Structure 1
Amino acid sequence: MYKEPDIASGSFFPGFFLHNSAIMNNQLTYQRQRQRALAFLLAASVDAVFKGQKRLILDHSFGDGYFCHFSDFSPLTDDQLKMIHDYMEHLIKSCRFIEKRDATSRDWRHLGGPDHANHRPPILSIGEFKSPSYEATELDLSKLPQYELKSYNSGFLIRDGRGENGSLRPFKDYPKLFSTMEEYESWGRILKVHSVIELNAQIKSQDFKELLWVAEALHEKKIAQIADAIKKKSTAKLVFIAGPSSSGKTTFTKRLANQMRVNGMYARTISMDDYFIDRDQMVPLPDGTLDFESIDCLNLTDLQRDMESLLKGESVFLRSYDFKAGKARILPEKISLGPGDLLIFEGIHGLNPIITSHLNSDTYFKVYISALTQLNIDNHHPVSTSDARLLRRIVRDSKFRGYSAEQTLTRWGSVRFGELHNIFPYQEQCDMMFNSALIYELAILKRHAYPLLRKAPQSDVRDRLLILLRLIHTIPERFVPGTSILREFIGKSYFHY
C-alpha cells in the first residue's frame, strides 16, 4: 500500500516540517556550511593518506552528500576508505578549527576568471593542506554532523547527517538519478568541459559557439530518445512531466510535443495547476499562508475522473485557474484523445503515485526533469544544482514577473521546502529522466543575474552566487537558439508561454 514519506519525523533534516521560508533558508545554509567543512576535511585527508599521489574529485551532489572518485578512476578498497575516515577523525580531534586567511594573487591565478584582482575569496587551511573557499564554511569542527564514507559505483560517497541532531539516515539509493548524472558526465567529455577553468578557456578561444551548438544538440537528441520511448509504449496515452522549480519544464514539454509529431503523434498539454481547488477551500498553514505546492490543493476527484474519461475515448471540458481571483474555471472547449493523440500533464505532482493510483501503468509514461549541472569550479568544489536553478529563477522572476533578486532569494526557502516534500521523494518513480542543464548557461545567465544580485542585501546565498559568477566569462546571448530551454529564462524564445 502506498504511504506518504514521513516528512515531519525529520527524514530530510531537523525541523524540516517548519514551512517558513526564512527558517528553511537558514537551515539549508547551515547544512551547506557543515557539508562544505566535511568536503574540505575529506580533501585534506586524501592528500595526507596518499601523500599527494592521488587527485580527489568531488564530482557532484548525490542523495545526502557528494559522489567522489579519484581522477584516474582507480578503485578504493574498504581499508583505504577506513584510512581516509580515520585521518578525518584525527584532524577533527587534533585541530578543532579550520583556519581562514586572505587570498593572494598566486592562490587564484589558476582559475583564469575575469574578476579576481578585486574579488578574491579567502583560503582555508588545516595542517599543511589549503584550498580556496568559494562559500561560507563551518570552521568549528566540533559542530560537524555525523558522516560516513561509503563505496558506490566507480567511487564513493561522503554522506552527512541530516536526521535528528545531525544523525545519519539509512542510505537510500537513487539509481536512475545517478545514471542521469553519469550520462551528463559523458556529455562533458564530448564537450571537453568539466570545470570553470575549461569553460573559460573555450570562451576565450572563441570555441564557445561549437560548445553551445553541441550542448543544444545533445539536448535535442535526448528529447528525441524520450519521444521514441513513449511511442514504443504504444498503450500510453498520458504523459506526466514533473520537476523542481526552474528546470525548464514548459520548454521541454513543447519540444517533446514537437518530437512526438515527428513520430506521427499529436500531443496536447494541460497544466495540473488548472485543477487547483478554489482558494477559499484550501487549508492554510499555521502561519496563515497557503501552500500551493501541496497535493491537497488539487481537485484530485475531478482530475482522476477526467483522466479515466479521456482513456475511454470520451470528451472532457478544459479548465483554467484564475490565480488573481483564486477560482477554478471550467471552459466551454472540450478535448478528447484520438488514436494517435497524447495528453501531456505538466506539474510538480506528476510523479506522485496518488495521481495515477487509479490507472493501469500501461496507460501512462512519466518523465522527471531537473537541471543537474555537472560543472565544477575546481576538483573539490562542484557547482550546486540548486544554485544553478536559483540563478535561472532570479533572471526569470526579474524579467517576466517583476520580482527583485531579494524577493526571489527570500522565497527560495519555501520553494525548496516544496521540492523536498513534493518532488524529490518521487523522482525514481519516473520512466525516464531529462537533465536540462546546459554546460554553458552560467556564462549567459551572468549578464542578467550579476547586476540583480549586486542590488540584493548581503546574505550567504547571495554572496556565494556572486563569487561563482565572478569566476566565469560571459557569452553573447545572440548565439543561444530560440528553442533553447535557456530562452525560457532569458527571453526571446520561439515558443509562446
Structure 2
Amino acid sequence: MVKKIKVRLPEGKEKVCVAGTTILEILVTGKGPGEPLLALVKGEEVELTERLHDDVILVPITLKDPQGAAAYLRGLSFLLIKAVKDIFPEAGVTIEHSLGKGIYGEIHYTRKINERDIAVIKERMQQIVTADEKIERIEVKKEEAVRIFTLQGMTDKLRLLKYINLPRINLYRCGDLYDYFYGPMVPSMGYLKVFDLLYYDPGFILMYPQAGDPFHIPPFHDLPKLARIFKEAEEWANILDVGDVGALNDKVVSGEINEIILVNEGLHEKKIANIADMIYAGKDKIKIVLIAGPSSSGKTTFARRLSIQLRVLGLKPYPLSLDDYFVDREHTPKDESGNYDFESIRALDLELFNQHLAALLNGEEVEIPRFNFRTGLREWIGRKYKMEKDSVLVIEGIHGLNEILTSSVPRENKYKIYISALTQLNIDNHNRIPTTDSRLMRRIVRDYLYRGRDAATTILTWPQVRAGEEKNIFPYQEEADIMFNSALVYEMCILKKYAAPLLREIPVSSPAYLEAKRLLTFLSYFLEAEENAIPNNSIIREFIGGSCFE
C-alpha cells in the first residue's frame, strides 16, 4: 500500500501526496525572483529537492527572507565560479567581502583580468541561467571529497576538510565542477535570473537583490576608503600567513597561534599609534576627535587606546560622552511603531551639545551634564571642564561622522575616525565570513557576560540594530578621515568557547533557533585557542572580559 502524507502550507492550505515527494513537486512553482528558494520544515532550513516522508508543516522561504537571500547569494557565487571555470579553466576565484551593496572578489589567472573579461564572464553566467543547469547535492565520503578537491586544485578546501570531523561531506555539483558551500543551495541555476557583474579593479563586484526586494538590484555605490581598508586587511592576513579558517586552525595545532595573537595585536597598536601621529601633526587645528562605528566594533577600547597614544605625544585627550546629551526621555523622537528611537540623532540635544563645543573651543569653562538612564532625565552634578592649549576632545558615538552632530565646529577642527570589524578571513575561497557575523558573535558574548541578556534576545534584536546602522552610520562612513579595522584574525578561536554554549541553549521552538543553528555551524569550523597570550588592552577583551579598561 502506498503511504500518503499530509503537508500543511501557509494560509491553511493542505496537500495530500505520496511519501517521498519532493518539496519542489509539492509547491509546483516557477523559477522567478519571487518564488521559493528553500523551505522551513520542522524548524530546519531544507532544500527544495528534499523528499518528505511524514506529515509536516511546510513554510516556503523566498528572497524576501534573510535565509532565502543568503541561499540566492550562495547560488550566484557558484554560478560565477562555474562561468569563470568554463572560460578560464586554470583560473581561481576568491569571494572576498561586501562592498557597496555587492560582493567584491578576484579572479586569479596567468594575466590580469580586465573589463572585457568580466563582460564575457557575465554573458556566460546568463547562458548558464538560461540553460537552467542543474545543481546537484551529493554526499561523499570525506576521502572522496579530498580526492575531488585535490584534482581541482582547491587547496583551501583541503585545509578546511582536515578539521571537519564528519565521515561524509555534502558537495554541490554543476556539470563537471564540484564545490562546497556553507549552507543550503537553490536547485538549479535557472533560479538566479537577477544579478549583475561589474569590473572593479583588480577584481569584480557581484551585485544581487537584497532581502525584501527580489526583483531589483540596488545601484552600486563605490566606497574607496572602505575598499582600501579591506585591502589593508588582506595585507595583514598575508603578514600573519592566515587567509582562511583552515590556515588559522593549522596555527592552533602547531602552537603558533600565540605568535599570531601577538603580531595581530602589534599591528593594531601600530595603526593606532599612526592615527595618533596624524592627529598630533594637525594639533594646531584639530581639537575634536570623533569616533563612530557599528555595534560591537570595539569603539570604547579603541578610544581608550587612542587616548593613551595621544598622551604619549604630549596631548591631553578628554572623553566627552554623547550619552550625556540625550534629551529628557519624554522629548525623545519616536519611530514608525511609536517606540522611542534612541538611535535617532534627534534623540540628542544638538543645540546644547554644539553650544558646549563652541564654548570649549573658545577657551570657556563648561558644566557637562550627566544623563540618568533610570529616571530618563538630564542632571547637573557640577562636573566642569575647560580646554587647555594641548587639549583634544575625544567623542565616541554612532553619529560621530554626521556633520549635523557638530555643525557649530569648522571641519578643519575635527578629525573623524570610522571603526568596524572588517574581517578578511574566509572559511575558504568561496565561502566568505560576513563582517556582521563577527560583530554579532562579539555582541552575543558581551550581552551575556555584562548585560544579562541571553543569546536568543541578542539575535532577535540584531535586525533592529542593523537597521539603525544602515540609517545612522553606514551612509557617513566615507566621511571619515581614516578607518580602523578592529577585526582580529584569531578572535573566533576565542569567542567560540563563550558563544557556542549560549547558542546551544536556544530551543527549536525559539524564533532565534535558525540563526543560532547557522552560527553554531559557522563556529564548528574553528578550533578553540587559549586566551593567555591576549594582552589586557586588546579590543577582544572588551567582549570576553579581562580588559584593563574595565
The alignment's TM-score, normalised by the length of structure 2, stands at 0.81
Partner of 1:485: 539
Question: Is the Cα–Cα contact under 8 Å of residues 64 and 214 in structure 2 kept in the other structure?
Answer: no
Q: Deviations over 1:344-394 (max 9, x none)?
A: 111000001211333211111100000000001111111111101100001
Question: Is the Cα–Cα contact under 8 Å of residues 264 and 489 in structure 2 kept in the other structure?
Answer: yes
Q: Does 1:171 align with 2:220?
A: yes
Match of 2:387, SS state, is coil
| Displacement of 1:61 | 1.8
Q: Does 1:469 align with 2:523?
A: yes
| Displacement of 1:287 | 2.5
Partner of 2:238: 189
Partner of 2:124: 87
Provide closer, same or farther for how the CA distance between residues 101 and 404 of structure 1 changes in structure 2, counting only shifts above 3 A: farther
Provide closer, same or farther for how the CA distance between residues 329 and 421 of structure 1 changes in structure 2, counting only shifts above 3 A: same
Question: Is the Cα–Cα contact under 8 Å of residues 441 and 499 in structure 2 kept in the other structure?
Answer: yes
Question: Is the Cα–Cα contact under 8 Å of residues 114 and 471 in structure 1 kept in the other structure?
Answer: no
Partner of 1:19: none
Q: Does 1:43 align with 2:52?
A: no
| Displacement of 1:399 | 0.6
Partner of 1:369: 419
Question: Is the Cα–Cα contact under 8 Å of residues 300 and 355 in structure 1 kept in the other structure?
Answer: yes
| Displacement of 1:441 | 0.6
Q: 1:240, 1:73 → 2: CA distance?
A: 45
Kindly report which structure 2 residues correspond to 1:181-260, keeping only aligned pairs within 5 A, or say none: 181-234=230-283, 235-260=285-310
Q: 2:279, 2:485 → 1: CA distance?
A: 17
Greater relative contact order: 1 or 2 (C-alpha under 8 angstroms, separation 6 or more)? Answer: 1
Q: Does 1:298 align with 2:348?
A: yes
Q: Deviations over 1:171-218 (max 9, x none)?
A: 211111111110111111111110011101111110111111000000
Match of 2:444, SS state, is helix
Partner of 1:394: 444
Q: 1:457, 1:54 → 2: CA distance?
A: 44
Match of 1:354, SS state, is helix
Provide closer, same or farther for how the CA distance between residues 290 and 93 of structure 1 changes in structure 2, counting only shifts above 3 A: same
Q: Does 1:156 align with 2:204?
A: yes
Question: Is the Cα–Cα contact under 8 Å of residues 115 and 471 in structure 1 kept in the other structure?
Answer: yes
Residue among 99, 109, 115 paired with 1:62: 99
Gaps of 5+ in 1: 1-13, 15-24
Q: Which residue identity does 2:529 align to in structure 1?
A: I
Question: Is the Cα–Cα contact under 8 Å of residues 135 and 463 in structure 1 kept in the other structure?
Answer: no
Partner of 1:314: 364
Match of 1:277, SS state, is coil
Question: Is the Cα–Cα contact under 8 Å of residues 64 and 213 in structure 2 kept in the other structure?
Answer: no
Q: 1:160, 1:451 → 2: CA distance?
A: 34
RMSD: 2.3
Provide closer, same or farther for how the CA distance between residues 466 and 73 of structure 1 changes in structure 2, counting only shifts above 3 A: farther
- Which range moves more in the overlay, 452-461 or 275-284? 452-461
Q: 1:30, 1:464 → 2: CA distance?
A: 13
Q: Deviations over 1:461-495 (max 9, x none)?
A: 32222112111111111221101000000001111
| Displacement of 1:165 | 4.5
| Displacement of 1:222 | 0.2
Q: 1:432, 1:285 → 2: CA distance?
A: 32
Partner of 2:150: none
Q: 2:507, 2:473 → 1: CA distance?
A: 30
Question: Is the Cα–Cα contact under 8 Å of residues 75 and 155 in structure 1 kept in the other structure?
Answer: no
Q: 1:347, 1:136 → 2: CA distance?
A: 38
Kindly report which structure 2 residues correspond to 1:353-368, keeping only aligned pairs within 5 A, or say none: 353-368=403-418
Gaps of 5+ in 2: 1-33, 35-62, 147-156
Larger radius of gyration, structure 1 or 2? 2
Q: 1:299, 1:61 → 2: CA distance?
A: 35
- Which range moves more in the overlay, 269-278 or 253-262? 269-278
Q: 2:71, 2:479 → 1: CA distance?
A: 31
Identity fraction in percent: 38
Question: Is the Cα–Cα contact under 8 Å of residues 345 and 405 in structure 2 kept in the other structure?
Answer: no
Q: 1:315, 1:114 → 2: CA distance?
A: 63
Match of 1:167, SS state, is coil
Q: Deviations over 1:88-142 (max 9, x none)?
A: 1122222265333445323378245686335977322322222212124444655
| Displacement of 1:268 | 1.3
Q: Deviations over 1:287-313 (max 9, x none)?
A: 232221111211111111111111111
Q: Deviations over 1:18-42 (max 9, x none)?
A: xxxxxxx975444333222211211
Q: Which residue identity does 2:216 align to in structure 1?
A: S
Q: 1:120, 1:489 → 2: CA distance?
A: 36
